[in-house]
């Protein structure tokens, strides 16, 4: 029996490959990061937020980055950052929220020197998201529970997602924009200290300076009670293979593995309880088509490993040892090095690291810092 256990352990050790980061950016106090082409050369660049501001790192033609930022955007105590075209001119802009709380939008004009500042977010250090919330091509910003539409002339329209009666609006954060009910319109999921709030579209921001998105005015609003924590991570993914997006979460404070709230085709998330997906596993979650094969997979990132699972079979496709020493703050995925596959970007309290999404294939080209 001992020989069998030893052989099993050796096989597991042999199958776990060490994953060395292709990229390291040392930036103490990192709070958030984003990836996108900021100088129009077709190469993804990186924006990193920290107490000193938003540091921009432009990718060079040899697929490397400098050790120091190419540009520093002046935002005191910058918290989260996102990249997208917010004014519709075809060039990516940078949006950042800080602890005060303010929203800064640096338009891609004159080397990002003309920021638009909004000091009425009314939420302490919110996470940011962006997308086409209402019909049309305009990309809006979600700063926590506050919806911002920014016009090219600098005009701001604002709408607040009001929680259900008795809810705690100040704790609605970490928004995810997805079409949950598959009706062709975007919906919004918020996590809070009391659970998940789901606002179903179609959504439209009134062309007023300040307005409200109330649950009773929507086609549907659902609140899922659940004790979330700052260390929790969640994604919208089809966990059980029925074609309906579910909410998959990892709550490290509960230490009960990765679970999910299933969405029924006819009743949505009503009258359901959490189901176990991957017991005994904890980490930050990503759900994407990492290998660009047309099939999305679930990635679980921790300080020790990166594990990739197929859903709904729950089979583990790969596992890589990472040995990340610092506390993980944020994770994202995207094709940064141009090899046609997504990389995993891991933000810690001391900076940013990038790993390949496939442990079985070597990187097309490594990205050392110069």
pLDDT at 358: 64
In the chain, the N- to C-terminal Cα span, in Å, equals 51
Q: What pLDDT is stored for residue 359 in this prediction? A: 44
Residue position matching structure tokens 């924009």: 177
Q: What is the pLDDT of residue 369?
A: 34
- The rounded average pLDDT for each run of 10 residues, N- to C-terminus, in the chain (370 residues) is 41 55 90 95 95 95 91 92 92 90 87 74 74 82 87 80 68 88 90 87 78 88 77 89 93 80 81 87 94 93 95 94 91 89 94 78 35
| pTM for the structure as a whole | 0.87
Angle at 254 (CA atoms; ends 228, 19), nearest 5 degrees: 95
Say if CB 160 and CB 213 are below 8 A apart: yes
Provide the 8-state DSSP code for 364. S
- Strands of 180-336, DSSP E: 187-192, 195-199, 211-213, 221-225, 233-237, 246-250, 258-261, 275-278, 284-288, 297-301, 305-309, 316-321, 328-334
> What is the model's pLDDT at position 269?
84
Question: From its phi and psi, is residue 325 left (phi > 0), alpha (psi between -120 and 50) or beta?
Answer: alpha
Paired strand residues for 319: 307
Lateral strand order in the sheet of 93-98: 78-84, 93-98, 103-106, 115-118
How far is residue 128 from each of residues 145, 184, 245, 360, measured CA to CA in Å?
9, 23, 21, 33
| C-beta neighbour count of 72 within 10 angstroms | 14
**167 neighbors 145 (Cβ within 8 angstroms):** no
Cβ pair 318, 327 in contact under 8 A: no
């Amino acid at each position: 029996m001992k020989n069998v256990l030893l052989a099993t352990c050796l096989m597991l050790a042999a199958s776990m490959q060490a994953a060395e980061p292709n990229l390291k950016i040392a930036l103490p106090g990192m709070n958030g990061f984003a990836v996108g082409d900021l100088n129009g050369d077709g190469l993804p660049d990186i924006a990193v937020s920290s107490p000193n501001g938003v540091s921009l790192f432009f990718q060079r033609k040899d697929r490397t980055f400098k050790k120091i930022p190419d540009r520093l955007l002046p935002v005191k105590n910058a918290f989260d950052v996102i990249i997208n075209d917010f004014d519709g001119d075809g060039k990516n802009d940078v949006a950042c929220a800080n602890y005060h709380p303010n929203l800064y939008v640096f338009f891609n004009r004159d080397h990002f020197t003309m920021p638009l500042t909004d000091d009425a977010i009314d939420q302490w250090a919110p996470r940011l998201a962006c997308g086409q919330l209402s019909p049309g091509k305009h990309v809006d910003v979600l700063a926590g529970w506050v919806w911002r539409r920014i016009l090219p002339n600098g005009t701001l329209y604002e709408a607040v997602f009001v929680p259900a009666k008795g809810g705690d609006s100040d704790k609605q954060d970490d928004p995810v924009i997805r079409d949950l009910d598959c009706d062709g319109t975007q919906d919004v999921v918020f996590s809070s200290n009391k659970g998940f709030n789901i606002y179903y579209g179609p959504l439209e921001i009134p062309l007023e300076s300040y307005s409200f998105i109330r649950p009773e005015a929507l086609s549907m609003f659902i609140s899922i009670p659940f004790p979330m924590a700052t260390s929790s991570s969640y994604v919208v993914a089809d966990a059980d293979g029925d074609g309906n997006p579910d909410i998959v979460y990892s709550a490290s404070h509960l230490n009960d593995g990765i679970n999910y709230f299933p969405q029924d085709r006819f009743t949505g998330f009503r009258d359901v309880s959490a189901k176990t997906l991957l017991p005994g596993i904890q980490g930050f979650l990503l759900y994407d088509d990492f290998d660009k094969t047309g099939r999305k997979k679930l990635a679980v990132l921790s300080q020790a490993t990166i594990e990739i699972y197929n859903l709904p079979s729950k089979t583990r496709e790969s596992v890589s040892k990472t040995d990340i020493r610092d506390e993980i703050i944020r994770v994202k995925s995207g094709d940064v090095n141009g090899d046609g596959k997504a990389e995993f970007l891991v933000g810690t309290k001391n900076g940013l690291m990038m790993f390949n999404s496939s442990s079985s294939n070597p990187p097309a080209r490594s990205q050392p810092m110069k």
